[in-house]
Amino acid sequence: MARVQLPVLNAPFSGDVTQTINPWTWFFAPSGGQFGLFNLNIDMGPSTNPEVETEIVRDVASYGKQIGRIEDVVAVLVNRLDPGTLAPAERKAIEAFKVLLADIETIKARHRQA
């Protein structure tokens, strides 16, 4: 029986591709401290010094932790304000901030119970 040689077809601009597929490394090799098939890197936009930002997020605190600490400090300052000295728009902003903190705490409490 004669063998038929099928033509090699490449998509435009693809050329020959050689790739080692090793599923063990997909699951068990760390990549940036993450494990799994899909590891996402989220681009948070332009940074004046991406290396410093990456090191801070990796070694000090995530963006969420940093924002949480800022919320804690702002909450202390807000609680020390005399509402009588604030304009109506300022009181509205303070109340909106307090609602935000309460909603965040509700979600955190729900996850602590789970």
CB 91 within 8 A of CB 83: yes
The answer to whether 97 and 78 are in contact (CB under 8 A) is yes
pLDDT tens digits, 50-72: 889 889 988 999 999 999 999 99
- Where residue 48 falls among pLDDT bands split at 50, 70, 90? confident
- The predicted-structure confidence for 72-90, as pLDDT tens digits, reads as follows 999 999 999 999 999 999 9
Number of domains within the chain: 1
In a domain, 104, yes or no: yes
| Residue 5 maps to a domain | no
Within a domain: 14: no
CB 54 within 8 A of CB 60: no
**Structural domain of 98:** 44-113
| Residue 52, in any domain of the structure | yes
In a domain, 2, yes or no: no
Q: Has residue 65 been placed in a domain?
A: yes
Q: How many helices (H) and strands (E) does the chain have?
A: 4, 0
Which has the higher per-residue pLDDT, 37 or 64?
A: 64
